[in-house]
Every structure is written in structure tokens, then in C-alpha cells.
């Protein structure tokens, strides 16, 4: 089982891969408010989806994790 680094959602960048709700997805956009809320747009199927999070750490990979179809 590969282990992945973690990254704060506020530090995610476009092109990163991150795991939310147990699913990996590429980050298409990311914006953090002054209050600490971060909106992350993920390349999910069938539609890209924006999720909103407090600052938490999520599993992160600079490239597409191996084994994903």
C-alpha cells in the first residue's frame, strides 16, 4: 500500500492530486478566504466539483497516483 504525503488544502495548487472523501482527483482550482475556508475544484466524474473545507491536511501527490484508472 503506497503512502502519500499530506498537504494542507489551503496550500494545494492547480495540477496537484489530492484525496477527498477517499477519492483521488486532480485540483483544477483552489481559493482560500481570509477566514480560512478553502474552496477546491476537483476534476471529478461526471462533473468537476467544488468542495469547501476548513484548513485540514489531505493526502497529496504532485502527479497522478499510480494505480488510478
Partner 1 sequence: MVPDAAGGSDVRRPEDIRAFLAQHSDGRVIGRVPAMFGIAVTAAEAEFQRRLLSAGHSSGYLALLGLSATLTFDAGEYFHTAEDARRDQGEWHGYHRGLQTALACLIMHETGSNPRQAALQVAEHTETLIRCRWNTRPAVGGG
The three grid cell numbers given for residue 49, joined into one nine-digit string: 466539483
52 bridge partner residues: 39
**Residue 31 binds to partner 1 (criterion: CB under 8 A):** yes
The answer to whether the bond into 23 is cis (omega within 30° of 0) is: no
Q: How far is the CB of 3 from partner 1 (least distance, A)?
A: 26
Dist. CA 37–CA 31, nearest whole Å: 8
Q: How far is the CB of 5 from partner 1 (least distance, A)?
A: 25
Query: Is the CB of 5 or the CB of 21 nearer to partner 1?
Result: 21
Query: Is the CB of 10 or the CB of 28 nearer to partner 1?
Result: 28
Cell 478553502, located at residue: 38
**Residue 57 binds to partner 1 (criterion: CB under 8 A):** no
Amino acid at each position: 500500500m503506497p503512502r502519500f504525503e499530506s498537504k494542507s488544502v489551503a496550500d494545494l495548487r492547480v495540477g496537484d492530486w489530492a484525496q477527498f472523501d477517499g477519492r483521488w482527483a486532480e485540483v483544477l482550482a483552489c481559493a482560500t478566504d481570509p477566514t480560512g475556508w478553502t474552496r477546491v475544484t476537483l476534476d471529478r466524474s461526471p462533473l468537476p466539483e467544488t468542495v469547501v473545507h476548513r484548513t485540514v491536511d489531505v493526502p497529496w501527490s504532485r502527479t497522478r497516483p499510480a494505480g488510478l484508472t
